[in-house]
Structure 1
Amino acid sequence: MAEAGINPCKLRDLRRIMRVLTLSGIFSVKQAVYKLTTASRLLVRDESLTTSQQLSPFLYPQLILTPCRESPVSRGIHAWFRQDQPQPAGPSLFALAHSGMTTIWERAERDATAFPFDAAMASDTAFLMPIVLKDCGEVFHGLTSLVDVAGGLGGAAATIKAAFPDMKCTVLDLPQVVTKAPTDNDVQYVAGDIFQSIPPANAVFLKWILHDWNDDECVKILKNCKQAIPPRDAGGKIIIIDMVVGSEPSDIKHVETQVLHDMMMMVMNGVERDEQEWKKIFFEAGFKDYKIVPLLGVRSIIELYP
């Protein structure tokens, strides 16, 4: 790492990138030693050849990769890996690439037309939640109340409420989000901060939330969730929809999608976790047991118990 100029605090992130490059065939790996493959040899110069000999095979892949190399994020990754501050203390790749904006949510607030983040999340909810209720609806059975943490305009909570009319469904989100909430559904909205407190309920629902945050932040969120629910024997639990990297190890395409998504999350200081990484933050937050059920290929439902 020192020879490459990479700060030791970025070791975990370097491993994440090498995982992508290994799965995509750019490197081979054995016992943590990475080697070039046939594909990656096109990206490096062979010093034993003359300039004319190496010109043709090298320049074509370089040309094809130019749009990726010249993107704001790609230009910023060099400086990001040399930062001497572990996340979240240092600026994210997103912040380095978009000077003046610190988070992806700030960009969404400033320019919803060019960057329709909220609409994209609502679209994902509309697609996913009917599948969740059809294939894994039993995770909601027996619940009398549920809080959808950072649930936006309440699409997921409204879908759950329609399937379980007797359940009290509440959405917790930031004040500026809650002010836009619809009034034509049977969902309650509470303005708040997930890092401060979460309204009490039988269960807490976290869809596509925890991968936005680093481990320490996830532990804080989960501790607040734990305070909001009753003990397990009284029906208390956390329901998480997120990726568990490698949850279907026999399906290489799913794993490739997961690790490529992890690279996207790295841009905003988020992370897609494998089971051991999830287990670590669960136990640090004080939870005692969990169950993972793969859902729709790359995502899973996790039931987390106090």
Structure 2
Amino acid sequence: METVFSKMCSPAALKGQAIEGNPEELDELLGQVEIWHYMTSFTDSVALKVAVELLIADIIDHHGQPMSLQKIVENIADAPKPEVSFLYRVMRVLVRRKIFSAHQTDSGDTLYGLTRASKWLLHDTKMTLSPMLLLENHPIHINPAHYISQCIREGTDNGTAFFKCHGHEQFDLTGLNPEYNKLFNEGMVCTARVTSKAVISGYRDGFNKIQSLVDVGGGIGGSLSEIVRAYPHIKGINFDLPHVVATAPKYDGITHVGGDMFESIPKADAIYMKWILHDWSDQHCIKILKNCRKAIPEKTGKVIIVDHVLQPEGNNGLFDEVGYAFDMMLLAHNAGGRERTEQDWKRLFEATGFARYNIIKIKALQSIIEAFPI
């Protein structure tokens, strides 16, 4: 998929900017531009975080129409001395990235409105990515990336980049730090809603014959609650670590069970795993999948994996860039965690006794990957 940046560096764009030179000079210039662009691209995420923390999208949404910067500032909560010029510079970036719209009135004021992107930053809606954005930009979550080069030099025998940064592995820290645990769970819940909607829409017949379903690593039950609401005949079992399910709310048709997926998994007609296996090495995934196979019926059971299928380099799908970005995050956060290609998934299924698999694309970052014992 061609990006705004790639268009900017195209020969036609260079000609339009009256930038001339021999091919070698232009190539050198473009190389410089590319490094500057990627060096500073983190500032887009910083600007998004500012907008989420200040509830800019919500303020505009509640107003019901585009607003001036002054009106937006007047509606920011707990802002005794707002710095309007700072907000202007943040909004300038976000308008350039088409997160917000901006147009001039006849009186010369600039009015800022919502776009299809900023609607995903709203707090007071089920379909939002705001909690995930705050998680991905939190220092606990992002600082381990600074230790990746150390892991390349030394390996991970003494811990992941996350461990080198914080002294604990990620899933241990969620049990030790209530603030991070809350932030992590909220991020997972918001993505669960988005993905579950796509799963339910794109896997319409997949749940019909299932009477019991275990959501392995289901967090506080967000994904499973959406599935059971759409398919009320299903008996849902939300399975996760004891400290995770301890904070889970009650849902009709769902039982919360604490345990360790590396030891055993509750028996059911089918196993559901959303965004779980990408957190773990092949060796860990083999243990989990073998336990899944033991938990389902030999002839009629199946495992439903909702995870990204990384496309080969050179492909230009909607979520390809995001997939490679998440793979970089997993380098920092998890011991052996990675995004996998179809061939990677196939090897895992062959190693764990699943006779066949099927990949179903849905309108989400992830795909549905079915695995069958026979």
**TM value normalised by structure 1:** 0.72
Name which of structure 1's ranges 208-217 and 182-191 shifts more when overlaid on structure 2: 182-191
SS of 2:206's partner is helix
Q: 2:294, 2:261 → 1: CA distance? A: 12
Q: Could you give the per-residue CA deviations for residues 220-270 of structure 1, whole angstroms, max 9, x where no partner exists?
A: 0000000000023xx200000000001897534522221111111111131
**Of 77, 80, 85, which residue of structure 1 is paired with 2:148?**
77
Q: Percent identity?
A: 35
Q: Which aligned pairs between 1:201-240 and structure 2 lie closer than 5 A?
A: 201-232=268-299, 235-240=300-305
Q: 2:209, 2:313 → 1: CA distance? A: 29
Larger Rg: 2
- CA shift at 1:139, angstroms? 1.4
Contact kept, 8 Å, 2:174 with 2:180, in 1: the verdict is no
Contact kept, 8 Å, 2:270 with 2:301, in 1: the verdict is yes
Specify whether residues 125 and 105 from structure 1 end up closer, same or farther in structure 2 by C-alpha distance, changes over 3 A only. Answer: farther
Q: Could you give the per-residue CA deviations for residues 265-292 of structure 1, whole angstroms, max 9, x where no partner exists?
A: 1111310000111111111111110000
Number of aligned positions between the proteins: 249
What corresponds to 1:12 in structure 2? none
Specify whether residues 164 and 247 from structure 1 end up closer, same or farther in structure 2 by C-alpha distance, changes over 3 A only. Answer: farther
What corresponds to 1:42 in structure 2? 32
**TM value normalised by structure 2:** 0.60
Q: 1:151, 1:300 → 2: CA distance? A: 17
Specify whether residues 256 and 64 from structure 1 end up closer, same or farther in structure 2 by C-alpha distance, changes over 3 A only. Answer: closer
- Report the residue type matching 2:207 in the other structure: F
Q: 1:106, 1:120 → 2: CA distance? A: 16
The answer on 1:277 being equivalent to 2:267 is no
What corresponds to 1:178 in structure 2? 245
Contact kept, 8 Å, 2:195 with 2:366, in 1: the verdict is no
- CA shift at 1:38, angstroms? 5.0
Higher relative contact order (CA 8 A, sep 6+): 1
Q: 2:245, 2:175 → 1: CA distance? A: 16
Specify whether residues 170 and 74 from structure 1 end up closer, same or farther in structure 2 by C-alpha distance, changes over 3 A only. Answer: closer
- Report the residue type matching 1:77 in the other structure: I
- CA shift at 1:73, angstroms? 3.6
SS of 1:140's partner is coil
Q: 1:229, 1:290 → 2: CA distance? A: 15
What corresponds to 2:219 in structure 1? 152
Q: Structure 2: 5+ residue runs without aligned partners?
A: 1-5, 7-26, 46-141
What corresponds to 1:256 in structure 2? 321
SS of 2:324's partner is helix
- Report the residue type matching 2:316 in the other structure: D
Q: Which aligned pairs between 1:1-306 and structure 2 lie closer than 5 A?
A: 38=28, 41-42=31-32, 64=40, 72-83=143-154, 85=155, 89-98=157-166, 100-103=167-170, 106-107=173-174, 109-112=176-179, 116-232=183-299, 235-246=300-311, 250-269=315-334, 270-306=337-373
Q: Could you give the per-residue CA deviations for residues 162-200 of structure 1, whole angstroms, max 9, x where no partner exists?
A: 222221111111111222222242201111100000011
